Amino acid sequence: MNGDYHKIPGGGIEENERPEDAALREALEEGSCDVEIITMLPGKIEFESTKGSGIYNNSVCFLARKIKDNNTLSFTPEEINNKFKLLWVSFDEAIELFKNVKSEVRFEIEMNNRDLTFIQAAKKYLDDNKK
């Protein structure tokens, strides 16, 4: 991977871990914050990790509210190698960033499209549920 893409915090579910617990852990590791889950967003997105590998990413996404900043950023070696950095932006800015990704790597494109779909769903949920 060449690191020319964006992604929202997330990752695999560990043994005996509920998806909600994985979301809380990933927010802490990759977002350096504690969050409160608001809702699980509609839809489940599946794509093959590498063409022909038979290994699939099955993704669900939770909308969450940041409740506490921490100093706990914990990227994987691959994320460090790809020069990942934490970036907090508005929904509109995130949508533009994800729409303008220039990667030609299939996995990066699939991950980017998955996360763009989730960001748009989160924005729609918040717009539809304004109080």
pLDDT tens per residue across span 25-65: 999 999 999 999 999 998 778 777 776 777 777 888 999 99
The DSSP line for 68-129 is EE-S-----HHHHHTT-------HHHHHHHHHT-----HHHHHHHHHHHHHHHHHHHHHHHT
**What does the pLDDT read at residue 7?**
86
**What does the pLDDT read at residue 1?**
47
User: Does residue 30 sit within a domain?
Assistant: yes
User: Does residue 123 sit within a domain?
Assistant: yes
User: Does residue 75 sit within a domain?
Assistant: yes
User: Does residue 77 sit within a domain?
Assistant: yes
- Does pLDDT of 13 surpass 70? yes
- Does pLDDT of 5 surpass 80? no
User: Does residue 73 sit within a domain?
Assistant: yes
User: Does residue 8 sit within a domain?
Assistant: no
Domain count, the chain: 1
The pTM score is 0.84
**What does the pLDDT read at residue 18?**
94
Supply the range of the domain harboring residue 24. 19-128
User: Does residue 65 sit within a domain?
Assistant: yes
**What does the pLDDT read at residue 131?**
63
pLDDT tens per residue across span 64-112: 999 999 988 888 888 888 788 899 999 999 999 999 998 888 888 888 9
User: Does residue 35 sit within a domain?
Assistant: yes
